[in-house]
Structure 1
Amino acid sequence: MSSAARSARAPVPVLDIGGTHVTAALVDPVTNSPLPFSVLRRPLRSDATADSILGTIALTALDLPAEHGACWGVAIPGPFDYDTGMGRFTGIEKFEALSGVDVGAGLRRRLADRAEHLRFLNDADAFAIGEYHAGAAAGHERVACLTLGTGVGSSFLRDGVPVHDGTEVPPGGHVHRLTLHGRPLEDFVSRRAIRALYGRLTGVAEDREPPDVHEIAALVKAGDPAATEAFRYAFETLGQALAPWIDRFEATAVVIGGSMAKSWNLIHPALSVKLVPAGGAVVHVLPARQPAEAPLIGAARWAQDTWSATL
């Protein structure tokens, strides 16, 4: 059997890098699922030095069993040059130390013979590709996937491939670049926006921190009208901003993941009422089926597909 054939059957090593943690795993290329007991997670400080950040990521990767393919899939948030592996994190208050740093070279050096190739992709694209191959986006030729957490991550897929250019998608395929009433969308729907609106509605003093989003969600269930309004406004606004792009892209589904998706019963009604107007085309608004594993599965598929294309 050739080395290429052996590599195609070997587990695919992946990294999912976030602002507070890094996850490493081995993904079975046949079943599209992480191998049991191979998923490792370690806290990561996005405000640390470049050496500390890269060291933590590499340490997590090196904890994986060594029997895996030579090409890694690496999901990482932007701004990032995914083709060259260079960080572009200036002015976003996370991973600032990696701005202008060759992350690919730094990881390959630390991983030595464990990483022959690295294939980087946006973390929202990784989530979307994972849901397409093993989750709620399966069977949809055109689908938009959102990750709702600190902000709004997004990916528009056509036949399982992210679309970043053209008039059918927002700039770069990123919903967070949209504006509404002359302001960035994340001024209306994000962790900080929901907290700020709840604070205003309840008259929380400016020198006091309003509750966090999960606490506001609990208040909705308890019948708090201000909490209910904060969620309704945020996600109706998201639906309003997103609706023209869903129509233009001709998406048949919108898949929702991220930490806020845990409050699905609060998000879904408000988002759907604006996203799917009465009499409009049917658009399925669906919760992610693989919320935790989708980025790992997507990173593995990206590594497989892009590596195979070079052979």
Structure 2
Amino acid sequence: MVLKNEICEKIGVRKRIVLGDVGRQYWNAATDNTKSIKPEFGLDSIIKMTWIGVDIGGSHISAAQVLWDGKDVHVGTICDADVNTYRSANEIIADWTAVIGNAMGKLTDCKIGIAMPGPFDYPNGISLVRDQGKMRSLYGLSVKKLLSESLTISYENIAFTNDAEAFLLGESLVGAGRNYENSLGLTLGTGLGSAFKIGHEIKDAKLWTAAFQDGIAEDYLGTNWFKKYAFEKHGLSISGVKDLLSEDINSAIADQIFIEFGYTLGEFLSPYVIRLQCQGVVLGGKIARAADRFLPQTQAYLKKSHCSVEITISVLEDRAALIGACIPFISENKPPFA
């Protein structure tokens, strides 16, 4: 199903070409003069296929065509939009359909890989989100069936992947995590996403609920911690990490907040890195974009704890999940990490 541009414009669908420093190095965004992403391993027995990668969050959706030819990955124009998921199921599905349809363009019978936050029945495509407010109207419904009907594509052509797993899948295939046998992926933002890669397997780690200090990990490793700490320690009201990078904020105060966060992240990481013998940690999410302000403290803490591990920042950023969501289709032919 190809939706008309005017329908997409009504809900604010944005189309953007992936360029910039990262894009020029890694992406072919519907042009011939940008590099494609080359995995460290070849799957040359797979025929060229184009899928739609989708990343759905509590208030946002992005989608793009993902081309895999067995050697390289190419990602086309990214379509994205903000979506109010406090509304009815029909309204949410309609908005998601508009963005996915816009990304499909002239493609008709294609396969769609969707990165979706939990709780969710991924094999059957059924939403189990009930207590978070967002997406509550979808609880118990087959999102897979609703989207297949709305997009007029086969039910079997839609696959769901946990969003944290999709992030690490993408980075492990063609991004910052490609050289690690065992790794931990963290997305640092409004919430805390996490996944482990052990050998050829990548699983949602669900560390956001892990006991940590006087609460759970997400209390200390997300946007809310920055807001709370800045106010309680410095009487500073901020909306998030981006505010701390502003010239309007006292740099000494900002530095102290980032230093505290860096040590906290190191304290959190050390037992998992040691226990799982991780060679690398891949950081993503909006907070990771300020990694130069807190990562030295994280690495210092880990060194003091005799914990040797590389920490890398996502090179794919929000494109990692789009690629990772399509891994189930690659795996139909050959395991991607074999």
TM-score range, shorter chain: 0.7 to 0.9
> Unpaired runs of 5+ in structure 2?
1-45
Aligned length, in residue pairs = 287
Contact 2:243 2:249 in 1 (8 A): no
C-alpha distance in 2 between matches for 1:234 and 1:69: 47
Name which of structure 1's ranges 113-122 and 250-259 shifts more when overlaid on structure 2: 113-122
Q: Is the counterpart of residue 33 in structure 1 residue 86 in structure 2?
A: no
For residue 231 of structure 1, report the CA deviation from its aligned partner.
Answer: 2.3
2:180 aligns with 140
For residue 306 of structure 1, report the CA deviation from its aligned partner.
Answer: 4.7
Give RMSD over aligned pairs: 2.3
Contact 1:76 1:123 in 2 (8 A): yes
Q: Is the counterpart of residue 126 in structure 1 residue 166 in structure 2?
A: yes
C-alpha distance in 2 between matches for 1:220 and 1:255: 31
Contact 1:75 1:120 in 2 (8 A): yes
C-alpha distance in 2 between matches for 1:143 and 1:41: 29
2:88 aligns with 49
Q: SS in structure 2 opposite 1:163?
A: strand
1:87 aligns with 127
Task: Tell me which of 264, 269, 272 is aligned to 2:296.
Answer: 269
1:19 aligns with 58
**TM-score w.r.t. length of structure 1:** 0.84
1:227-246 aligned within 5 A = 227-246=254-273
C-alpha distance in 2 between matches for 1:220 and 1:33: 40
1:1-311 aligned within 5 A = 8-30=47-69, 31-35=72-76, 37=77, 39-63=78-102, 64-67=104-107, 70-113=110-153, 116-164=156-204, 173-203=205-235, 209-218=237-246, 222-225=250-253, 227-274=254-301, 276-278=302-304, 280-306=306-332
Name which of structure 1's ranges 109-118 and 122-131 shifts more when overlaid on structure 2: 109-118
Q: Percent identical across equivalent pairs?
A: 24
C-alpha distance in 2 between matches for 1:266 and 1:110: 45
Contact 2:177 2:280 in 1 (8 A): yes
Whose relative contact order is higher, 1 or 2, with alpha carbons under 8 Å and at least 6 apart? 1
Flag the 1:105–1:114 CA change in 2: closer, same or farther, 3 A.
closer
After superposition, give the CA deviation of every residue in 1:225-278 in whole Å (9 maximum; x if it has no partner). 2x333222233222212211111111100011111111111131232223x233
Q: SS in structure 2 opposite 1:12?
A: strand
After superposition, give the CA deviation of every residue in 1:110-129 in whole Å (9 maximum; x if it has no partner). 11136642110111111111
C-alpha distance in 2 between matches for 1:122 and 1:185: 19
Flag the 1:69–1:282 CA change in 2: closer, same or farther, 3 A.
farther
Letter of the structure 1 residue corresponding to residue 151 of structure 2: L
Letter of the structure 1 residue corresponding to residue 118 of structure 2: G
1:4 aligns with none
C-alpha distance in 1 between matches for 2:276 and 2:108: 38
